[in-house]
Structure 1
Amino acid sequence: MFAVVVALFLVALVGPLLAPPSIYTSNMLETLMPPSADHWLGTDDQGRDIAWRLVAGAQLSLLATMLVVILYSAIGMLVATLATVGPRWADELLMRISDIGLSLPGLVVALGIATVLGPSLQSGIIALALTGWPMTARILRTTMRQTMEQSFVEGATVLGVSRTRLMLKHVLPNSLDVLIVKWAGDLSYTMLILAGLSFIGVGAQPPSPEWGAMISGARSYTSIAWWAVAAPGAAIVINAVAFALLADILQVHRDPSLRS
């Protein structure tokens, strides 16, 4: 699984540099051609090479997925930090807001936000970032409170370390390890959800090579050109499973009791 994840990052880095400009232009003489030596994964309804579009779309799909996780993790860390260092009423208010966010169907709320903002990949990113932070805030707030009770934090307090420095230099960094496993799993989930938003028309729009948008553009002719849907679908599934298994591996590494 590490190999798949590393390969995805390598393709995302160098793929768009190697992809020919023709993947963004139509060639009506080569529409819906099946996989062959010239086009390993066939062509779509515009005559564009699907394999090269997958390579170019790897960067877009991965960057969008990582950006969503980074954004809602940052919001969650901010909320958890304010809840930990702030007065009790602030803690109660922020945690109740988090509970409300957790009680709502995140995908439905994200779909509504993306629809209001208008169909685009940016709308999908914003929608998922605004709906994904409550779980991070909840987990991190609990961990930070436990870290605050550690002896090294008490020692730093006795030495006169300011509360801001204490949180940023000691408490927060020593509380983030619990989120590493979650982040790896979130990459898998977020990649699937972003592709889903693009598929139903509120995420990335054609002619974007984002994998979900590629499936959406090919669904009307699936019966005569199965490869146009199968290739991006397989790319999404393989990478989502790879990130999910990576999360499991990290969880076992973090918790020795899970090792057989």
Structure 2
Amino acid sequence: MTRRIMAVDRIALAVAALMVALAVVGPLLAPHDPYAVDLADALQGPSAAHWFGTDVNGRDVLSRILYGAQVTLPATVIVIAAATLIGTLVGTVAALGGKALDEVLMRITDIGLSLPSIILALGLAAALGSGLRSAVVALALTWWPGYARLVRTLVREVKDAEYVDAARTLGVSRARLVFRHILPNALNSLYVQTTLDVSAVMLVISGLSFVGVGAQVPSAEWGAMIAAAANNLTNGWWAVAFPGLAIMLTAVAFNLVGDWLRVRNDPTIREGVR
């Protein structure tokens, strides 16, 4: 059982690493121009010339997927980085700023958590104007409450630890106490959550592009590719299936990597797996 789990973890790590690598060097590997329209080759099935076929405009689907990795994955990373920064700031201030400030910030956080992120992001993205940049900004502004709640809990657990009390007794400044002793130890578990969130954020970004408020056609973003090919599903299934497969593989891989990190980080779970 343990060997089987380890094999799955290795595969997930390999797939996640491959997708990250494609986001860096994908365009160099693309066999065709992803934006070159050739109506004579429209909706050609998978072949030696076009491994993943062509879309309704004759563009090579494989090349567009490789280019799309440089759109979808960086957008996902930007959302998570921004949401983590905002959430860490709010959570830390709430945990260390006194009861009144804690109550105000946590009530705001609870309001954000009570509303579905995708609905909020959809409304904000529509208000900001269609486009991938608007979708990224909207999603970052709606994703931070979960991190704020998590960071507040972690900081509250660490701030009363013995080594923190010892540093406080020695006269360490408040800023040094927070940034040198509390945050580094409190946030050790945060990277697990950010890894788990890669799949969720990527699915939402692709979903926003699919409904028309994210990346716009003819962008090679994976969700926009599916939206552009949805009307030709019966006679061009490959133009939908392969971008969808790229999204699915990436999401599942990062989710499994996050689970693996969580198991490694929690001794009680690790013992249960054994």
The TM-score range, normalised by the shorter chain, is over 0.9
Q: 2:146 aligns with which of 116, 135, 148?
A: 135
| Structure 1 residue 174 corresponds to structure 2 residue 185 | yes
1:20 deviates by: 5.6
Distance in 2 separating the partners of 1:138 and 1:48: 45
Q: Which blocks of at least 5 consecutive residues in structure 2 are unaligned?
A: 1-11
Q: Provide the secondary structure at the position in 2 that maps to 1:172.
A: helix
Q: What letter matches 2:39 in structure 1?
A: M
Q: Which residue of 1 aligns with 2:26?
A: 15
Distance in 2 separating the partners of 1:3 and 1:107: 29
Q: 1:39 aligns with which of 39, 50, 63?
A: 50
Identity of matched residues, %: 49
Q: Which residue of 1 aligns with 2:136?
A: 125
| Structure 1 residue 157 corresponds to structure 2 residue 168 | yes
Count of residue correspondences: 260
Q: Provide the secondary structure at the position in 1 that maps to 2:262.
A: helix
1:54 deviates by: 0.4
Q: What letter matches 1:93 in structure 2?
A: V
Distance in 2 separating the partners of 1:35 and 1:105: 39
* 1:174-193 paired onto structure 2 within 5 Å: 174-193=185-204
Per-residue CA shift, 1:68-120, capped at 9, x if unaligned? 10010000001012112223211111011001111112211111000001111
Relative to the length of structure 1, the TM-score reads 0.97
Q: 1:213 aligns with which of 208, 224, 227?
A: 224
Q: Which blocks of at least 5 consecutive residues in structure 1 are unaligned?
A: none
Q: What letter matches 2:117 in structure 1?
A: G
| Structure 1 residue 90 corresponds to structure 2 residue 82 | no
Q: 2:261 aligns with which of 244, 250, 253?
A: 250
Contact 2:117/2:143 (8 A) holds in 1: yes
Relative to the length of structure 2, the TM-score reads 0.92
Distance in 2 separating the partners of 1:169 and 1:95: 25
1:39 deviates by: 0.2
1:25 deviates by: 2.1
Per-residue CA shift, 1:227-259, capped at 9, x if unaligned? 000000010011100111111111111112222
Q: Which residue of 1 aligns with 2:70?
A: 59
1:21 deviates by: 6.4
1:4 deviates by: 0.1
Q: Which residue of 2 aligns with 1:4?
A: 15
1:177 deviates by: 1.7
